Amino acid sequence: MNGLDIRLTAQTTKKNDWDEWTKERLQEIESTHQYITIEDQAYPETLRQVSTPPLVLFYKGNLALLEREKLAIVGAREATEYGYHVLQKIMPELTKRGFVIVSGLAKGIDSFAHQFSISNQGKTIGVVGTGLDICYPKSSGNLQIEMSQHHLVLSEYPNGTKPAKFHFPMRNRIIAGLSSGVLVVEAKRRSGSLITAQQALDYGKDVFAVPGSILDERSSGCHQLIQDGAICVEKTQDIFDSYDLWNKIH
């Protein structure tokens, strides 16, 4: 059974067919996969609340990280030194505060976010758009292996599922759904990062954006988010203030 089969089954199966699907389909793959289903206690409550939650999450690593406070960080694949240094600056305080960093193991900002979380003794979760036995892009291979051993890597696709264009918007909804908020660092106006930010807004999550140069198209999406009401982040405290206010209200 390939990833497309599982995705389509998950989104079209009626409630009374779900029991049959779990018994028959999951028995086919349980010998080679670790997974949780939407009916398991370990399944994140925040992810249950999205419009099309994955019925099955395959994983490698420390599943207990799903219970901790999570912040998603996304941004440009072709990131600049500016984006690199932004994350280098803010990550020590984020990890000290205890945030688990969620991202997509893509080139650029995603990989920087994972790497800086690890180098600052933090924890991180990667959500991929392939089976967990495939490293995509290949440049993230060593990072993905390290995270699967000491952190957590998730996918809604079973082993053997190769990358496909439509997998990545699907992956983005999981990144947004898992996290309390989404921080965007360097993104064009038309980018997957802005899709993730919009999904976060749809789910009632905070969206944060780091401003950049008006001369660099890679910050134009961040500026658009700020104009639309995203929280402008110039220092880590800007993120903390939002979380502290939310906790005070609730």
Q: pLDDT, tens digit, for every residue of 98-140? A: 999 999 999 999 999 999 999 999 999 999 999 999 999 999 9
The mean pLDDT value of the chain amounts to 89
Domain locations along the chain: 32-245
- Complete DSSP assignment for the chain: --HHHHHHHHHH--HHHHHHHHHHHHHHHTTT--EEETTSTTS-HHHHTSSS--SEEEEEE-GGGGGS-EEEEEE-SS--HHHHHHHHHHHHHHHHHTPEEEE---TTHHHHHHHHHHHTT--EEEE-SS-TT--SSGGGHHHHHHHHHHSEEEESS-TTPPP-TTHHHHHHHHHHHH-SEEEEES--SSSHHHHHHHHHHHTT-EEEEE---TT-GGGHHHHHHHHTTPEE-SSHHHHHHHHHHHHHH-
pLDDT confidence bin for 5, thresholds 50/70/90: very low
pLDDT confidence bin for 40, thresholds 50/70/90: very high
Q: From CA 173, how far away is CA 171, in angstroms rounded?
A: 5
Q: What average pLDDT does range 151-166 have in this prediction?
A: 95
The answer to whether residue 194 scores a pLDDT higher than 60 is: yes
Residue 154 to residues 123, 158, 222, Cα–Cα distance (Å)? 14, 10, 27
Q: What average pLDDT does range 23-30 have in this prediction?
A: 64
32-245 CATH fold: Rossmann fold (3.40.50)
Tokens of 127: 């959500």
Q: From CA 178, how far away is CA 159, in angstroms rounded?
A: 22
Tokens of 115: 């790497």
The answer to whether residue 249 scores a pLDDT higher than 90 is: no
pTM: 0.88
Percent of the chain with pLDDT over 90: 80
Tens-digit pLDDT profile for residues 48-61: 989 899 999 999 99
